[in-house]
Amino acid sequence: MKYPATVLNFAGEANLAPYAQFRDYYNHYRVNFEGAKNLEFSVTDDKGLPITFEEKEALMNASLKREILRVSGIQNFTEFPLAQMATHPMLGWATFAVVSQMIDMILPETIIDSIGMYTDVRTIGWGDSALFEVEPKDIFAVSKAGRAQRSTEIHKQFRGNVSIVPEARELTVGVSLYRVLSGHESLAIFVSKVIRSMETQVTLDAYDAFAAAMAALPTTATTGLQVAGYTQASLVRLCQQVGAWNGGAKPIIMGTQLALASVLPDDANYRYDLQGSDFMKLGYVRTAFGYDIMALPQVADHRTEWAMRLDNDRLWIVSPSAQKLLKLVLEGSTVSYTDNIYDNANLLQRSTILKSYGVGVATNSIAGIMTL
């Protein structure tokens, strides 16, 4: 298993077991509660016996508590009343230091699952900004020459530079450390919800940048990269154009499941195979007109009740094997800081989790968009 450098530096090679266990737990959580597929997780415990998610959650909470005590350096936890130990200043710090590392363990992987088809995810150090060099897309012109002509017009190309500066995002939550330590609140579920919240915000920011870039594409009738109205011929032409101008990198057709349901032949005489066809199983076909089709998971837009964020009337044509359209830069590790236990009148501790990242368009690839 590959561990982020921040987790390796924090825990050391001898103490990585809780973080690997949390990855397994979180994959199980996503399959059970989010409908995720093709994620690896164990279905047996250390003794080879079947294990349920509820049993795994109890083991995960116990493992998190052991890791928190290790980081805090507290050796005599059971020798004092729980209510007294909840006031220990190192315990609150260690709790959210471990939570931050759990976020760094999972977040890049979950982001790639949702936006990896058009986004390149990179990690930089604290206080750094990212500078991306973009190679020119043009090729050199070849001229006819005379027998007595020594040279033709001189050609020279220059790289472009795109700078992406991360911006800080914060999430502040109220936590009762006493209830966490006593087992009345699940720390594993809490960490999972924090990761989901961060993942959703990063996904939305990346999608907004992607959608804005695609909306600015040219709309020329026969050569534009933006097409209004679906026809089979227009879609194939757009796919050919994107593939050719990306140096032959084969494009794919992306969209939400609802949008991809429109990718069908213009011929009205086709038949549906109700038994084994991809269209009936998935709601869209996997391959159409020689091009692969990829469904983007829809994302809830929490700004408006029950709204969805991804456009259901757009098809995007991109070449994943060419240079990705977006660059997402994660700055350093996740940072958290917590109030003292008696700072607030209701005895809740406010914990703020800070993650810095930036997203921008930095590519020499082209892409196409079709509005249905």
Structure pTM?
0.85
* Interatomic CA distance for residues 21 and 46, integer angstroms: 11
What's the pLDDT score for residue 79? Answer: 67
According to DSSP, the residues that pair with 358 across neighbouring strands are: 329
What's the pLDDT score for residue 315? Answer: 95
Element (H, E) at 182: helix 177-182
pLDDT tens digits, one per residue of 95-105 = 889 999 999 99
Residues in the chain where the model's pLDDT stays below 70 = 79-80, 82-83, 272
What's the pLDDT score for residue 82? Answer: 67
Enumerate residues 6+ apart whose C-beta is below 8 A from 165. 129, 130, 358
Joined tokens for residue 255: 């969209």
Enumerate residues 6+ apart whose C-beta is below 8 A from 107. 195, 198, 199, 202, 330, 334, 355
